[in-house]
Structure 1
Amino acid sequence: MLELPLTEEARGALNRYSSENAAKTLLPLWRQFEDFLQSRGLSPTSILDIPEDTLRAYASHLDHQDCHVDDALVALSAVLLVCLHAGYSGKVLRSVVIPRIRRPIENRQWDAFRLRTYQPLESSQLARSRRRRAKREAYAQDTVLADVNRK
């Protein structure tokens, strides 16, 4: 079977930086991304020619697909890893994320689960920062006491 030029480039990048098992695992996910590119009428000649907006559009596409959020994260991570190994800018790749991270919550009316957009509550973020501050202060006190006990 003849491979597309992007798949050949992806295979080369993965073989250069990863194991053979990693390439076998990541290439099917890369081919899904290539199918996405073809469905949008794009045919870049190189991985480095893939526009940043297209990577963002793929992340949105994965978000709205009817699949588990973990599968979407793995598919996006595989594409980003191949792009990184091919020499794509890491700064650009760090900014490509799935727009909504969803988690299952219980639907009390039907005793079933549904997906809801997850956004951390401000109160939980404040509590986390208070816990971190308390741990840092306790550690600082322990080190001061240890220094005093040594002398």
Structure 2
Amino acid sequence: MPESPLTGDARATLNRYSSKRAVETLLPLWLQFEDFLRSHSLSPASVLDIPEDTLRAYASYLDHRDCHVDDALVALSAVLLVCLLAGYNGKILRGVVIPRIRRPVENRQWDAFRLRTYQRLESSQRARSRRRRAKREACAQDTAHADNALM
């Protein structure tokens, strides 16, 4: 079966910027995206002709599919990488996220995005506890020195 013009465009883009092994890894994920396009009766002529709404719809589709979060992230990342290498606007691509996975969460220090499905590493938690304990001890020592100075 001959490959579609869209797959040919994606293959040419990947060959231009990536190694052969990267092309072999990313192209099957691109073909999944192309199957999604066909199922929605869309057939853009090139990568740059893919509407932004279609990329967002694909991200939502990955969100509702019954697959692991990591698989959904990798599939979307592969499609976005091909689009970026083809010359798609990077500002648009930054806004295409899987809704369930990436969401704003409040943080005391800064407003940031965090993957809600991942746990902090155990070593990271221990390091954070050590820093907190050190701050508490330093604060307690400063208070004790201040009390001694007043007497």
TM-score (normalizing by structure 1): 0.70
C-alpha distance in structure 1 between counterparts of 2:104 and 2:43, whole Å: 36
C-alpha distance in structure 2 between counterparts of 1:64 and 1:76, whole Å: 13
C-alpha distance in structure 2 between counterparts of 1:95 and 1:3, whole Å: 29
Specify the alignment match of 1:34 in structure 2: 34
1:78 aligns with 2:78: yes
Specify the alignment match of 2:55 in structure 1: 55
C-alpha distance in structure 2 between counterparts of 1:49 and 1:42, whole Å: 11
- Mark the runs of 5 or more structure 2 residues left unpaired by the alignment: 111-127, 132-151
Specify the alignment match of 2:141 in structure 1: none
- Mark the runs of 5 or more structure 1 residues left unpaired by the alignment: 103-117, 135-151
C-alpha distance in structure 2 between counterparts of 1:67 and 1:119, whole Å: 22
TM-score (normalizing by structure 2): 0.70
Q: C-alpha displacement at 1:4, in angstroms? A: 0.7
Structure with the greater alpha carbon radius of gyration: 2
Aligned length: 113
C-alpha distance in structure 1 between counterparts of 2:58 and 2:18, whole Å: 24
- Cα root mean square deviation, aligned: 2.1
* Ranges of 4+ aligned residues in structure 1 off by more than 3 Å: none
Q: C-alpha displacement at 1:101, in angstroms? A: 1.0
